[in-house]
């Protein structure tokens, strides 16, 4: 695996190294030793999947607060998404900054979001599937988030959303977020 830093402290683009032949390819999506060697959260407690039927489905911006802080490894296993992380850590050098990139089923790239960094995405295709591996089991009382369209953060989404949950549409502004 190749680990490439982003402008968000502790967040990395993780490129899988494919071993290809006439059958297809094989690639590691997780290696505790390699993640630990890069100073990353090297234990994962939960893996989840998000299936999205319609292009333009927006999910986010979500994170967990203490004591359930979580790191996430995000991969698009079907279709394509524009994946976004925002540094929600108060006092961080990159607080309020966002980083986004396209993830697709054909691209061997994943995004690692460290604890205290919010995550969201918009689907660029119908039937998009996203796999999350998380360092902590989900705790409903410790969930937090802020609006996907907050002008303070000013995320540059590539397309307007066609679907968004009422919960996500009514999240607070970034300035009123719960501290990670």
Q: pLDDT tens for residues 6-48? A: 999 999 999 999 999 999 999 999 999 999 999 998 889 999 9
Q: Which pLDDT value is given to residue 41? A: 84
Q: Kindly state the average pLDDT of the residues 169-179.
A: 97
Number of domains in the chain: 1
User: Alpha-carbon distance 106 to 73, whole Å?
Assistant: 17
User: Alpha-carbon distance 2 to 22, whole Å?
Assistant: 24
Q: Kindly state the average pLDDT of the residues 96-104.
A: 98
Tell me: the pLDDT tens digits for 101-156?
A: 999 999 999 999 999 999 999 999 999 999 999 999 999 999 999 999 999 999 99
Is 93:9 a contact under the CB 8 Å cutoff?
yes
Active site residues: 62, 132
* Maximal CA-CA distance, the chain: 53
Host domain of residue 135: 2-176
Is 99:11 a contact under the CB 8 Å cutoff?
yes
Tell me: the pLDDT tens digits for 84-95?
A: 999 999 999 999
Nearest to 42 by CA among 135, 139, 136, 138: 135
> Cβ-count burial of 75 within 10 angstroms (0-12 exposed, 13-18 middle, 19+ buried)?
buried
Q: In this structure, what CATH number is given to the domain that contains residue 68?
A: 2.60.120.10
Q: Name the phi and psi angles at 153, rounded to 5.
A: -85, -40
């Amino acid at each position: 695996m190749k680990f490439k830093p982003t402008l968000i402290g502790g967040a990395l683009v993780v490129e899988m190294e494919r071993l290809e032949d006439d059958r297809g390819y094989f690639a590691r999506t997780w290696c505790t030793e390699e993640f630990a060697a890069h100073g990353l959260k090297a234990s994962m407690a939960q893996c989840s999947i998000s299936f999205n039927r319609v292009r333009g489905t927006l999910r986010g911006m979500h994170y967990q607060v203490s004591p359930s802080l979580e790191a996430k490894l995000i991969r698009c296993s079907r279709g394509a998404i524009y994946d976004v992380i925002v540094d929600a850590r108060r006092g961080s050098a990159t607080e309020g900054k966002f980083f986004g990139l396209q993830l697709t089923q054909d691209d061997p790239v994943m995004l690692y979001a460290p604890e205290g960094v919010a995550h969201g995405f918009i689907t660029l295709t119908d039937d998009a599937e996203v796999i999350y591996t998380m360092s902590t089991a989900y705790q409903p009382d410790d969930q937090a988030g802020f609006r996907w369209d907050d002008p303070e953060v000013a995320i540059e989404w590539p397309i307007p959303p066609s679907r968004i949950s009422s919960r996500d549409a009514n999240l607070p502004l970034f300035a009123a977020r719960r501290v990670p």
